[in-house]
């Protein structure tokens, strides 16, 4: 072989080796990326959204036939993809009960004093029963337990007492509060306070305004009328039956003026006692010498059956498939208000159609023999608008162990550009004024302050899409952190994020329609969440 021929042969070998290296590297990149990511398409999501937001579904109010229709549609789509039902017996549904309430005929509150005087209070003026209350009568001395959010507030035991507690929580306006900063903590929920009081031996519970944090006159009669607008009509209020069924003591809200009367025997003003509850570690309960309370509550409970939609792709690794990632959204909305249908396109059919398209991408990849190492659960929750109750129901009865759930990725309102107008609308409390035009590429991510370990897979997934990620509204008085379905999982220690393109003026109005959706952005967010879920499922 001549020198020239040897040089050409050597060059050819080098080219082949270089080409092989490039192809191998390219294959490695493709293997690392989520397969079938490009199957997530805005055209498919738009077609599904038009069905969900049609007038025939009447705004999908939870506990109605309309949410049943929505759930059946999601189930049919997931089933057709070839996914596995994750519910009981392989079903695509996880059934659970909501609880509604109506006011019964026998509601009384009497306060007996040591001098033989008995005050017979007027319902709707001095007090009103709370909707989660158990029926029955409690008679006993009264003890003031501050906010009633901590075990320390109840001392060693309050057995036999009717307890008086403040609304809300200590440090309500303190960003450094040990609860959840300025976000309303789960412990401050009245029902959770009542369950804790019951656990500590209380036979009844009375709630009252925390007058030191919320000073000024209160129209108590208007509050009572708002709670029970028609005494013989079932309220729109719903809770989770799993919770309400655990409460066996009567509960009522009383006016600040009545609370002032009850604390007179302590020698202190009610405002002073309220201020004393602002402690770091709870307060010693104060027995209110003199008054004996007799509270009778008649509240009828009405179970409302409903269901989440759940499907899964089983992991390919025998040792890891019992671990999972959850990709979720909620399909309920507000129904009809003041004669107008609330279509809820962004809130939250944008999230639902993204979940369905991400699920389809996994199903298509599985048909090619490509499944993630860990299982991926796809969930569409009901009753988010009534207090995240579908997601809470799952955490009460998880289909896969919560301690084996590596991450939950929640998509709620991912189809618009954030727009915060000037003014005092409560929906935008604590949020900076901003325009939709300035947020064409913006995606809010909530939860990283609790679970910073999720930032690495988030940034990796977003590298291909270049979304402008904002992560600064976890600790905000808007309470956004607790306003979607990731919150129940956070409370159980599951690493969870909420993807939110932002609040806007048509949020919770009849104008939240498909023609306002930013379809290109919705597609990019869905594809990014798909990439992130695939990465976590394979780590």
Kind plus residue range of the DSSP H or E element containing 381: strand 375-381
Tokens at 66, concatenated: 């309309």
Query: CA dihedral in degrees (180, 181, 187, 189; nearest 10)?
Result: -120
Predicted local confidence at residue 292, as pLDDT: 97
* Sequence-separated contacts (24+) of 478-484 with Cβ below 8 Å: 478/428, 478/429, 478/430, 478/431, 479/183, 479/184, 480/446, 481/180, 481/183, 481/446, 481/447, 482/180, 482/183, 482/184, 482/186, 484/330, 484/384, 484/388, 484/410, 484/412, 484/446
pTM, to two decimals: 0.92
Predicted local confidence at residue 13, as pLDDT: 35
Predicted local confidence at residue 15, as pLDDT: 30
**Pair 329, 167: CB distance under 8 Å:** no
Tokens at 127, concatenated: 């007090």
Q: What are the residues whose beta carbons fall under 8 Å from the beta carbon of 351, sequence distance 6 or more?
A: 328, 329, 330, 410, 411, 412, 413, 414
Nearest to 142 by CA among 343, 359, 294, 300: 294
Q: Which domains does the chain have, with CATH numbers?
A: 50-100+302-538 (3.40.630.10), 105-297 (3.50.30.30)
Predicted local confidence at residue 32, as pLDDT: 56
Predicted local confidence at residue 20, as pLDDT: 38
Tokens at 234, concatenated: 């079932």
Residues facing residue 410 across a β-bridge: 328, 498
Q: How far apart are CA 471 and CA 468, in angstroms?
A: 10
Q: How far apart are CA 495 and CA 414, in angstroms?
A: 20
Tokens at 307, concatenated: 């269901």
| Rounded alpha-carbon distances, angstroms, from residue 292 to 112, 116, 207, 274, 510 | 5, 11, 16, 21, 50
pLDDT tens digits in sequence order for the chain, 539 residues long: 443 333 334 333 333 433 333 333 333 333 458 999 999 999 999 999 999 999 999 999 998 999 999 999 999 999 999 999 999 999 999 999 999 999 999 999 999 998 789 999 999 999 999 999 999 999 999 999 999 999 999 998 899 999 999 999 999 999 999 999 999 999 999 999 999 999 999 999 999 999 999 998 889 999 999 999 876 555 689 999 999 999 999 999 999 999 999 999 888 999 999 999 998 788 899 999 999 999 999 999 999 999 999 999 999 999 999 999 999 999 999 999 999 999 999 999 999 999 999 999 999 999 999 999 999 999 999 999 999 999 999 999 999 999 999 999 999 999 999 999 999 888 899 999 999 999 999 999 999 999 999 999 999 999 999 999 999 999 999 999 999 999 999 999 999 999 999 999 999 999 999 999 999 999 999 999 999 999 999 98
Tokens at 39, concatenated: 């199957």
Can you say whether residue 60 is alpha, beta or left, with left for phi > 0 and alpha for psi between -120 and 50 degrees?
Answer: left
Q: How far apart are CA 222 and CA 107, in angstroms?
A: 18
Predicted local confidence at residue 235, as pLDDT: 64
Predicted local confidence at residue 463, as pLDDT: 97
Residues facing residue 292 across a β-bridge: 112, 141
Predicted local confidence at residue 233, as pLDDT: 57
Predicted local confidence at residue 234, as pLDDT: 59
HSE-CB at 326 with a 13 A cutoff on CA atoms is: 34
Classify strands 496-500 and 405-411 as parallel, antiparallel or unpaired.
parallel
């Amino acid at each position: 072989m001549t020198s020239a021929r040897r040089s050409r042969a050597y060059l050819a070998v080098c080219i082949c080796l270089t080409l092989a290296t490039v192809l191998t590297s390219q294959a490695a990149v493709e293997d690392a990326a989520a397969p079938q990511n490009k199957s997530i398409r805005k055209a498919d999501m738009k077609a599904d959204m038009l069905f969900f937001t049609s007038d025939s579904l009447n705004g999908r109010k939870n506990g109605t036939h309309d949410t049943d229709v929505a759930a059946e549609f999601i189930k049919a789509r997931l089933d057709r993809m070839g996914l596995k039902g994750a519910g009981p017996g392989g079903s695509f549904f996880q059934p659970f009960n909501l609880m509604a309430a109506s006011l019964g005929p026998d509601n009384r509150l009497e306060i007996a004093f040591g001098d033989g005087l008995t005050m017979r209070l007027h319902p709707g003026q001095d007090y009103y029963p709370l909707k989660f209350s158990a029926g029955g009568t409690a008679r006993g001395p009264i003890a003031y337990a501050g906010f009633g959010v901590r075990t320390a507030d109840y001392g060693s035991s309050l057995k036999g007492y009717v307890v008086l507690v403040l609304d809300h929580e200590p440090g309500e306006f303190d960003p450094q509060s040990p609860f959840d900063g300025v976000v309303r903590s789960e412990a401050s929920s009245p029902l959770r306070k009542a369950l804790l009081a019951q656990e500590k031996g209380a036979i009844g519970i009375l709630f009252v305004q925390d007058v030191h944090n919320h000073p000024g006159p209160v129209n108590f009669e208007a509050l009572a009328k708002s709670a029970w607008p028609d005494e013989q009509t079932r309220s729109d209020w719903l809770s989770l039956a799993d919770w309400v069924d655990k409460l066996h003591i009567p509960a009522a809200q009383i006016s600040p003026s009545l609370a002032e009367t009850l604390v007179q025997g302590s020698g202190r003003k009610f405002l002073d006692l309220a201020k004393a509850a602002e402690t770091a570690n709870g307060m010693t309960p104060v027995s209110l010498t003199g008054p004996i309370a007799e509270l009778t509550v008649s509240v009828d409970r009405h179970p409302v059956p409903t269901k989440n939609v759940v499907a899964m792709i089983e992991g390919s690794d025998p040792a890891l498939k019992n671990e999972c990632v959850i990709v979720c959204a909620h399909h309920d909305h507000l129904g009809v208000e003041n004669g107008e249908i609330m279509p809820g396109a962004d809130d939250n059919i944008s999230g639902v159609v993204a979940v369905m398209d991400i699920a389809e991408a996994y199903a298509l990849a599985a048909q090619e023999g490509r499944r993630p190492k860990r299982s991926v659960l796809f969930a569409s929750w009901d009753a988010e608008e009534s207090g995240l109750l579908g997601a809470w129901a799952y955490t009460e009865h998880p289909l896969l162990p919560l301690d084996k759930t590596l991450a939950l990725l929640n998509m709620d309102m991912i189809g618009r550009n954030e727009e915060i107008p000037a003014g005092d609308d409560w929906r935008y409390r604590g949020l900076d004024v901003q325009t939709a035009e300035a947020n064409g590429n913006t995606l809010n991510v909530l939860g990283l302050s609790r679970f910073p370990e999720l930032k690495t897979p988030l940034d990796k997934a977003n590298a291909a899409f270049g979304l402008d990620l904002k992560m600064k509204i976890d600790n905000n008085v808007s309470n956004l952190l607790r306003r979607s379905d990731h919150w129940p999982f956070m409370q159980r220690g599951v690493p969870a994020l909420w993807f939110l393109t932002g609040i806007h003026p048509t949020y919770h109005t009849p104008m939240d329609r498909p023609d306002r959706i930013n379809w290109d952005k919705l597609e990019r967010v869905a594809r990014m969440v798909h990439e992130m879920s695939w990465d976590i499922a394979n780590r």
